[in-house]
């Protein structure tokens, strides 16, 4: 298999050093470049003379050289280089056990590019968990020609997913965002109406409200769950309020009982945004079954995926029927090409649903693995000063869609952004937490919502897919501990 490597031209200057310098100088260069090597170049001409690894320096010191010895005394193996003109497949073949950096030279023997391969696997923030069953079902769509939005997998996926949530109906759609839009339109929400949403969410929670002509009203989160604060909900209600959208952020359920109580008191509808919370539990009950309706996303980074895709689940037959019509151009169910309402083309395809069915066969396993991984993270990270673990209320089952922590800069020693940068250098991908929607340029409401602003400023998500294993989590935790110690 071709090795995945990256180019690091921008580090050439950092790690280049002339032959007449000392070992101390070269160690500084190696440290600065953080690639484990330095490049020896001829003074003045900058012609490439060789590559020195941190291992070469270590061995030289052990054999009696000291920090002031000249670099030229270090014994080193022949350097592996390549011409800048050779194809990437050829470069890929040159990497090996002890070769992680390959200088690429121009015809004048100057280093013009660096090919860098980390011998440890790159750990992405998330990746889909796909296998042979997905391939089989998608293959079936192709072999039978059922590739569009009609076909057995669509209804099968809807049935399996609504059963999983414990709801009567599941109506698939092209994305989580279109599912939200459909749910709001089915409720008749439109211009002049207000919908209460948490500011701490992905932007589509608010955008879907705006698509209908209604206004999203942003409220703050509670620090214990990172979710919509029920006390803030009641304060935000006006005569125009029609619905509340609690979001189960990062896989932890919102505190639904008080929100349901308020909704009943003011006769408001609840649409759960469970895009990130497949299989999470609130007081033992599945997210998705707690409001009047709920939506899920099956985007590629979600707990299960259909590539792109979404679903509305509900127990309300009337709403389910309406949504089915709305997602299919508003076509009357009994009369083809007759349209009594303005609809949309928001259908999921049979190919996407085929992926969904295969994913549903493994969903419990995927969720369990994510929870197991979160427990390993928790054990490793809990003792690090300045780190707050993700919420885990005693009434909740968090499914840790993205395992996210808060970092207190003072106690930890460096900012969360710096931590992200240092982990990236170690081939560990991270992601900042969502910026509050009320501060997004298109909304910019000038509100001050301190909890979500703090979450966004201090939070970071770590590699979270069900595909990563205990050793990899230990490696991530080790790097974080090490960064904290060095600061």
| Cβ–Cβ < 8 Å for 255, 230 | yes
Least distance (Å) from ligand PLP to the CB of residue 199?
12
Min separation Cβ 414 and ligand PLP, Å: 28
Interacting residue ranges for ligand PLP, rule: CB under 6 A: 175-177, 201-202, 204-205, 247, 273, 275-276, 297, 299, 310
- Helix 350-360 / helix 132-144 crossing angle, nearest 10 deg: 150
Of 302, 322, 370, 426, which residue is the catalytic one?
A: 302
- Of 248, 256, 219, which is closest to residue 235 (Cα–Cα)? 219
Sheet containing 16-18: give its strands across: 16-18, 37-41, 48-53
By beta-carbon proximity to ligand PLP, the closer residue of 268 and 402 is 402
Reference 323, options 180, 429, 220, 197; nearest CA is 180
Q: How far is the C-alpha of 408 from the C-alpha of 250, rounded, in Å?
A: 20
The answer to whether the CB of 366 falls within 8 A of the CB of 167 is no
Handedness of CA 253, 316, 237, 182 (dihedral sign): positive
Question: How many Cα atoms are found within 13 Å in the side-chain-facing hemisphere of 405?
Answer: 29
CB of 179 to ligand PLP, least distance (A): 8
Cβ proximity to ligand PLP, 110 vs 431, nearer residue: 431
User: What is the rounded distance in angstroms from the CA atom of residue 152 to the CA atom of residue 141?
Assistant: 9
Is 302 catalytic? The answer is yes
How far apart, in whole angstroms, are the C-alpha atoms of residue 259 and residue 294? 14
- For the bound state, the minimum distance from the C-beta of residue 17 to ligand PLP, rounded and expressed in Å, comes to 46
Residues pairing with 241 in the sheet: 194
Write the CB contacts of 230 (distance below 8 Å, at least 6 apart in sequence).
222, 255, 258, 259, 262
Q: Half-sphere exposure of residue 24, counting CA atoms within 13 Å on the CB side?
A: 4
Q: Alpha carbon of 165 to those of 62, 137, 274, 349: distances in Å?
A: 63, 23, 11, 21
- Measured from the CB atom, is 182 or 387 closer to ligand PLP? 182
Q: Which is nearer to ligand PLP, 177 or 221 (CB)?
A: 177
Smaller CB distance to ligand PLP: residue 181 or 475? 181
For the bound state, the minimum distance from the C-beta of residue 252 to ligand PLP, rounded and expressed in Å, comes to: 12
CA distance 224 to 162: 29
- What is d(CA 248, CA 228) in angstroms, rounded to the nearest whole number? 9
Closer CB to ligand PLP, 204 or 465, in the complex: 204
Cβ of residue 470: shortest distance to ligand PLP, in angstroms?
A: 27
Task: Name the residue nearer to ligand PLP (CB basis): 53 or 456.
Answer: 456
Distance of closest approach, residue 59 Cβ to ligand PLP, in angstroms: 50
The residues that are catalytic are 302
């Amino acid at each position: 298999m071709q090795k995945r490597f990256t180019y690091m031209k921008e580090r050439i200057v950092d790690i280049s050093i002339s032959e007449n310098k000392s070992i101390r100088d070269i160690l500084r260069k190696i440290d600065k470049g953080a690639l484990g090597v330095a490049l020896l170049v001829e003074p003045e001409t900058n012609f490439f003379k060789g590559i020195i690894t941190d291992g070469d320096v270590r061995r030289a010191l052990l054999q009696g050289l000291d920090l002031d010895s000249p670099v030229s005394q270090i014994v080193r193996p022949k350097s592996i280089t390549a011409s800048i003109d050779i194809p990437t497949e050829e470069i890929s073949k040159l990497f090996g056990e002890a070769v992680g950096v390959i200088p690429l030279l121009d015809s004048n023997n100057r280093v013009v590019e660096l090919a860098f391969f980390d011998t440890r696997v790159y750990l992405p923030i998330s990746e889909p968990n796909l296998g042979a069953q997905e391939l089989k079902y998608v293959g079936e769509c192709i072999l039978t020609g059922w590739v569009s939005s009609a076909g057995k997998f669509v209804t099968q996926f809807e049935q399996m997913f609504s059963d999983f949530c414990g709801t009567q109906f599941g109506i698939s759609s092209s994305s989580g965002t279109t599912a939200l839009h459909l749910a709001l339109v089915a409720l008749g929400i439109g211009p002049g109406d207000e919908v209460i949403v948490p500011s701490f969410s992905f932007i589509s929670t608010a955008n879907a409200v705006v698509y209908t002509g209604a206004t999203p009203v942003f409220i703050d989160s509670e620090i214990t769950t990172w979710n919509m604060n029920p006390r803030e909900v009641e304060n935000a209600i006006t005569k125009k309020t029609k619905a509340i959208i609690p979001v189960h952020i990062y896989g932890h359920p919102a505190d639904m009982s008080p929100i349901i109580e308020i909704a009943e008191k003011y006769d408001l509808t609840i649409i759960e945004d469970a895009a990130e919370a497949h299989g999470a539990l609130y007081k033992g009950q599945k997210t998705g079954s707690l409001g009047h309706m709920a939506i899920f996303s099956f985007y590629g980074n979600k707990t299960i995926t259909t590539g792109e895709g979404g679903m509305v689940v509900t127990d309300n037959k009337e709403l389910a029927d309406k949504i089915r019509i709305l997602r299919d151009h508003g076509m009357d169910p009994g009369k083809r090409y007759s349209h009594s309402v303005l609809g949309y083309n928001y259908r999921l395809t049979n190919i996407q649903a085929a992926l969904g069915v295969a994913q549903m066969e493994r969903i419990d396993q995927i969720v369990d693995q994510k929870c197991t991984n979160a427990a390993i993270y928790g054990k490793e990270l809990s003792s690090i000063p300045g780190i707050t673990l993700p919420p885990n209320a005693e009434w909740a089952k968090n499914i840790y869609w993205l395992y996210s922590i808060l970092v207190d800069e003072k106690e930890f020693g460096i900012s969360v952004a710096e931590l992200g940068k240092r982990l990236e250098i170690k081939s560990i991908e991270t992601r900042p937490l969502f910026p509050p929607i009320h501060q997004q340029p298109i909304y910019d409401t000038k509100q001050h919502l301190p909890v979500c602003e703090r979450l966004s400023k201090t939070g970071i998500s770590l590699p979270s897919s069900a595909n990563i294993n205990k050793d990899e989590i230990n490696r991530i935790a080790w790097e974080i501990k090490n960064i904290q110690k060095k600061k």
